Amino acid sequence: METKVILDTIWVIFAAVLVFFMNLGFATVESGLARQKNSVNILSKNFIVFAVSSLGFLVLGWGLMFGDGNGFIGLSGLFMASGADNSPAVGEAYRGVYSAISWAGVPFWAKFFFQLVFCGTAATIVSGAVAERIKYISFIVFSLILTLLIYPIVGHWIWGGGFLSKLGMLDFAGGSVVHSVGGWAALSGVIILGPRIGKYTKDGKIHPIPGHNMSLATIGAFVLWFGWFGFNPGSTMAADPMAISHILVTTNTAGIMAVLTATATAWIVIGKPDLGMSINGLLAGLVAITPCCAYVSIPSSLIIGAVAGIIVVLAVMFFDRRKLDDPVGALSVHLVHGVLGTLFVGLFAQDGIAGIHTLNGLFFGGGFELLGKQALGVLCVASFVFPVSFLVWAVIKKTMGLRVSAKEEIEGLDIGEHGNQGYPDFVTVDYTGSAEKMDYPEISPVTGSVPVEQAVPVKVIPASGHKITKVEIITKQNKFENLKNEMDKIGITGMTVTNVLGYGVQGGMTEYYRGVEFETNLLPKIKIEIVVSKVPVRTVIETAKKVLYTGNIGDGKIFVYDVENVVKVRTGEEGYDALQDVE
C-alpha cells in the first residue's frame, strides 16, 4: 500500500476518533446545564444516541447519502453500506457506487467511520434542546429516523453529489449538513414539546432554571473544543499539511474570539460575565467557522468568531423571550450559527487560501454569486428538515407520546425514566447488617470475633440530675473554624455540623443565568448543634457571641433548648454521663 494512503488513513481515523470523543463533551455540557434530578437521563441519552445513529447510518443512511443516484437521494448500495467499492482508488481508477466520496484516497471503512461520527453529532444536538421533559423512548425513535433518513438526504444534497453540490454550494465541515440539520430538528421538537414546567409564567415572565454543575459544563466545553480539531481539519480526509495547519488556526481563532466577545456582550447586556454565555460563545464560534474553515483567511476567522460571540448571547435571550425553552442553548449555537457560518462562506471565502479552489466571497471581489448559492442552500435545508422533523415529532406524539407526565418531570426523569439517580444522597441498604436480613452468600466468621454483647458490655445507667441543654448556632460558613477552636478551649469536645440554607431579613443576592436576572433568597449558612451539661450554657453563648459578632445583619442566631435525656448507644450511659468523652 502506498505511503500516502497509509498516512491519509491514519489521519482520517485519528480525526474521526477526536470527533467521536466529542460525545463526551456533549454529555457533560448538557448534564451540567441541566438539573441534578435529570443528570442520568441526559447522560443516558447522549450514550445511546451514538449507538442509535450508528445503526441507522449503517443500515440505510450511508447509502442514501453517498450512493450514486439523482440530485435528491442516493439509490445505489443503499443497505448496510454493501455497494461495490474499490477504495482507496480515486479518480478514473475508482470503480464503485459511492462516486461522490471517491476523492478521498483512504479505505472504504475509514470513509464510513469518519462520516458516521458526523452523523452522530447531528443527532446529539437535538438531545440538549429537548432535555428535561422528553420521553426516553420517543427521543430514541426520533434519533433513529433523523440518522436513517433526514440527515443522509441533506448530506446527499451537499456532500453526496446532489443538486446543491452541483450548484456550487460549499460546506467544508458540516455547518449546514451537521449543525443546521440538528438545529432545525431541535427547533421543531422544542415547539411541539413545549417549555419545561415553571420556565415561564402566564404573564410571560421568564423563570431561569440554572444548571446543577457548571464545572461539568466547562469540562464538556473543553472536550468539545479539543474534538473540533478533528472535526474541521479532519474534513480534508487527507494528510495535507498546509490545509490541516490552516484549518487548525482558523478554527481556534474563531473559537477564542467568540469566547471573548460573548463574555464581553454578556457583561454589557446582563451586567456580569456569565460563564454559561462564555461556553455558548466558544461553541458558536466553532460552529460558525465549521463550513468555511478551509475557505477563509485567519483575519477573516477572527471577524467570524467575534460576530458569533455577540450574536449567540442575543440569540439565547431571543429564544427565551419567544418561550422556546432550550436548556443548553442548542438552537442559539447550532441552528443560528450553522446558518450564519454557511452564509459567511459567501462573504469571506478566498480562492486558494488553504490550497483549495473556491469562488471568492462578496468581501473579496466575488460579488453575490457564491453568497446567493449559500443562501439557497440554507433555505433548502430549512424547508426540508424543519417540516419533516415537525411531522415526525407530531406522529411520535400522537402514537407513543412525546412528553413525560407532569409528576415525573417535577420529580425528575432520573427516577421516572431510569429508576436511579446520578447523585444518591444516602445509602439506604445496610451492607454491614446481619446476613439474615439480606439474601447474601454465607460468609465465614472472622477469626476471633465475638458477639457484640460480650465485646461491649451494655449497662443501663439512669439519667443523673444534671440539667442538659442544646445550643444551636446558625451563622455564616466562614465562621466555623474560629467557632470550633474557641469551643474547644472551653471544653466542648463534640458538635454536629450541617450545611443549611437561610431565609430572612438579610435578603438574598442578584444572580444571572443565561441572560436572565433572578433573586437568590436562600443563603448558604452553617448550623452547629452542641449539647452541654458540664460546661455552663452561658459560657457557650458568650463564646459564640464573641466569635460571631461584627455588628452587621447576618452574624447569626443562637437557639437554646432544654433536652430531656441523652443516651450513648454503645455503652447505654444516659444523661450527664453520656456526654462525657472520657473512656
The stretch 16-25 carries a mean pLDDT of 97
pLDDT at 435: 43
H or E element that contains 158: helix 151-159
Residue 209, CA atoms < 13 Å, CB-side half-sphere: 23
In the predicted model, is pLDDT for residue 448 greater than 70?
no
User: 494 by DSSP, 3-state: which?
Assistant: coil
pLDDT at 436: 46
pLDDT at 438: 47
Higher pLDDT, 437 or 167: 167
In the block, cell 402566564 appears at 202
Burial (CB < 10 A; 0-12, 13-18, 19+), residue 372, is middle
CA-CA-CA-CA torsion sign (407, 410, 411, 412)? positive
pLDDT in tens, 271-316: 899 999 999 999 999 999 999 999 999 999 999 999 999 999 999 9
Catalogue all structural domains in the chain, each as residue range(s) with its CATH number: 3-403 (1.10.3430.10), 457-579 (3.30.70.120)
Which among 164, 149, 71, 173 has a CA at the least distance from the CA of 380? 164
pLDDT in tens, 59-94: 999 999 999 999 999 999 999 999 999 999 998 999
In the predicted model, is pLDDT for residue 460 greater than 80?
no
Phi, psi of 168, deg, nearest 5: 110, 15
**Cβ(170)–Cβ(370) below 8 Å:** yes
In the predicted model, is pLDDT for residue 265 greater than 90?
yes
The stretch 468-474 carries a mean pLDDT of 94
pLDDT at 553: 82
**Cβ(421)–Cβ(415) below 8 Å:** yes
In the predicted model, is pLDDT for residue 536 greater than 60?
yes
pLDDT at 504: 72
Q: How far is CA 472 from CA 36, 500, 526, 576, 579, in A?
A: 30, 13, 10, 19, 16
Helices (H), 180-274: 181-193, 214-231, 241-269
H or E element that contains 39: helix 39-56
Q: Which residues contact 436 (CB under 8 A, 6 or more apart)?
A: none
The stretch 450-472 carries a mean pLDDT of 64
Residue 206, CA atoms < 13 Å, CB-side half-sphere: 22
> What nine digits make up the cell of 375?
443562501
Q: Is the bond preceding residue 387 a cis peptide, omega within 30 degrees?
A: no
Residue % of the chain over a pLDDT of 70? 89
In the predicted model, is pLDDT for residue 461 greater than 70?
no
The 3-class SS string of 259-302 reads: HHHHHHHHHHHCCCCCHHHHHHHHHHHHHHHHHHCCCCCHHHHH
State the chain's mean pLDDT as an integer: 91
pLDDT at 160: 96
What is the value of pTM for the model shown? 0.85
H or E element that contains 487: helix 480-489
In the predicted model, is pLDDT for residue 518 greater than 80?
no
Rounded to a whole number of angstroms, the distance between the first and last alpha carbons of the chain is 80
pLDDT in tens, 331-381: 999 999 999 999 999 999 999 999 889 999 999 999 999 999 999 999 999
Bridge partners (DSSP) of residue 524 are 501
Angle formed at CA 94 by CA 89 and CA 96, multiple of 5 degrees: 120
pLDDT at 522: 74
- Characterise 87 by phi-psi region: left (phi > 0), alpha (psi -120 to 50), beta (else): beta
Angle formed at CA 554 by CA 548 and CA 560, multiple of 5 degrees: 60
Look up residue 231 and give its amino acid.
F
> What nine digits make up the cell of 582?
472520657
Burial (CB < 10 A; 0-12, 13-18, 19+), residue 338, is buried
In the predicted model, is pLDDT for residue 30 greater than 80?
yes
CA distance 177 to 154: 6
CA distance 340 to 92: 36
**Cβ(524)–Cβ(506) below 8 Å:** no
DSSP state of 74: B
> What nine digits make up the cell of 540?
457557650
The percent of the chain in helix, strand and coil, each rounded to the nearest 5, is: 55, 10, 35
H or E element that contains 557: strand 557-562
**Cβ(188)–Cβ(181) below 8 Å:** no
> What nine digits make up the cell of 113?
467511520
**Cβ(127)–Cβ(29) below 8 Å:** no
CA distance 120 to 122: 5
Bridge partners (DSSP) of residue 519 are 510
Residue 8, CA atoms < 13 Å, CB-side half-sphere: 23
Going by pLDDT thresholds of 50, 70 and 90, the confidence category of residue 443 is very low
Which among 194, 19, 201, 200 has a CA at the least distance from the CA of 120? 19
pLDDT at 321: 92
pLDDT at 204: 79
- CB-CB neighbours of 570 under 10 Å: 9
